[in-house]
Structure formats: C-alpha cells, structure tokens
Amino acid sequence: MHKSFWIILALVFVLSSAGFVSSKLKLGGVSKAIKGSESVVLDLWLDEIPSTNAELFKTGDTTNLLVRNRPHGKLEILSSHCVPLSTDRFYLRRVSVPTQQAKEEAFQEPFLWQCRLTLRDPSALSTANGYLSQGNQLKIGSRIALEGVLYRVDGYIVNIKPEKV
C-alpha cells in the first residue's frame, strides 16, 4: 500500500480519538451547553380547529408533535380543554363585512374549536438557552403541529416548565 494511505489513516484515527476523548471529558463546546435531561411540561394553544368532534384530545392519550415541520415523537397528553370558537369573532377577523352581517352569518360554520393542551416531554435536554427536544429548540411562541390518527392541527407553544417530581 502507499505510504500516503497509512498517513491519512493514522491522521483520521488520531483526530477521531481526540474528538471522542474531548467529548467524554466535556471539553467540547456542545457538551458544555447541555446541563442534563429532565421532564418538561408544554402548554400549547390550538386555534380554529375545524371539527365536529369536540373530544379529539383525551387525557392520557399520546400525540405526535412536529416542531418546525420536523417530527418530534409521541408525547403524553396531561390535560386538554376545548371550547367552541366564537364564530362571529372568526368572521370579523377573517372577512371584511359589517359587524351586523357577520353576526347573522356567524352560525353558518359552527364547527370551530380552540383548545389548550398540556403535554409531557420526559426526555428534554436542559441547556443555558432553554430546552432541546429531538434536536429542536423549544421556545414560547414556536409554531408546532400535532398529528394523530384523526387530526393534524397547528398551534403555538405558550408555556414551558420543568415537571415537578
């Protein structure tokens, strides 16, 4: 074999070993940022869910979370609270019509819901900048999507807190 092949192979081995040792000793920049893993509770706000089923989200079920359109994994639903969306509010915000006409049309589309969900993520990584989950940074205001057998809905993260054990 050529001498240059052995030199390149030795160089790859030395650099790989140095990276492995520095990560185990926590000398690398990425490992310094991660403080540990902990269970966090996410509060989500879902608005304008078009459905005839008021009980899409049941306590104790699991749902798939997508953050920035990247799959996150199954999370447990701790609580859910869904109420009918005021359809006159929907029409006033979406359509430029006079208020009285909007209120007359308000009951033509009665199947809109707004929900507040609480989910548990048992393995979020705690960092100096917040929480990481499956490579996604969890921040208040981040757009998310929930996907289940019967639904795919969009919403926002409105609160993140560590779960008290």
* Chain segment 35-47, per-residue pLDDT in tens: 788 889 999 999 8
**Is this structure's pTM higher than 0.85?**
no
What number of other Cβ atoms are within 10 A of residue 119's Cβ?
Answer: 23
In a domain, 105, yes or no: yes
pLDDT tens-digit profile of 109-135?
A: 567 788 899 999 888 888 888 888 877
In a domain, 3, yes or no: no
Count CB-CB contacts under 10 A for residue 2: 7
**One digit per residue, pLDDT tens: the chain, 165 residues?**
688 888 998 999 898 888 877 777 655 455 446 778 888 999 999 988 888 887 889 999 999 988 877 887 788 999 999 887 765 555 545 555 556 665 565 554 567 788 899 999 888 888 888 888 877 888 999 899 999 888 899 999 999 999 875
Cα–Cα dist 32/57, whole Å: 38
CA 16 to chain centre: 34
Task: Give every CB contact of residue 94 below 8 A, 6+ residues apart in sequence.
Answer: none
Q: Look at the chain and report how many structural domains it folds into.
A: 1
The CATH number that applies at residue 141 is 2.40.30
Neighbours of 23 (CB within 10 A): 12
In what helix (H) or strand (E) does residue 150 lie, and over which residues does it extend? none
Q: Which of 134, 110, 130 is nearest to 33 (CA)?
A: 130
Query: Contact, 128 vs 99, CB < 8 A?
Result: no
Structural domain including 84 reads 34-162
Residue 50 inside a domain? The answer is yes
Backbone φ and ψ of 152, nearest 5°: -145, 110
Q: Is residue 69 part of a domain?
A: yes
Q: How far apart are alpha carbons 126 and 36 in whole angstroms?
A: 5
